Amino acid sequence: MIPRGFQALLDAVDLPAPIRADLLRRMTAPWRGYHGLAHLTVLWERHRRYGRTGPMRRPRMARLIAAAILFHDAVLQPGAADNEARSAAFWRATARRLRGFTPAEIAWVAETIQATADHLNTPLPRGERGTARLWLLDLDLSPIGEAATTFDRNGRQLRAEARHLDDAAYTAMQGAFLARIAAAPRIVRHPQLHAAFEARARANIRRELGRSAAARGHAATAAEPPRSPAIA
- What burial letters (b/e) apply to 89-125, b meaning 16+ CB within 10 Å? bbbeebbeeeeebeeebbebbbebbbbbeebbeeeee
How crowded is residue 46: how many other Cβ atoms within 10 Å of its Cβ? 19
Res 232 pLDDT > 50? no
Residue 171's Cα: distance from chain center in Å? 18
Task: Output the pLDDT for position 50.
Answer: 96
Tens of pLDDT, residues 172-215: 999 999 999 999 999 999 999 999 999 999 999 999 999 888 77
Query: What's the predicted TM-score (pTM) here?
Result: 0.91
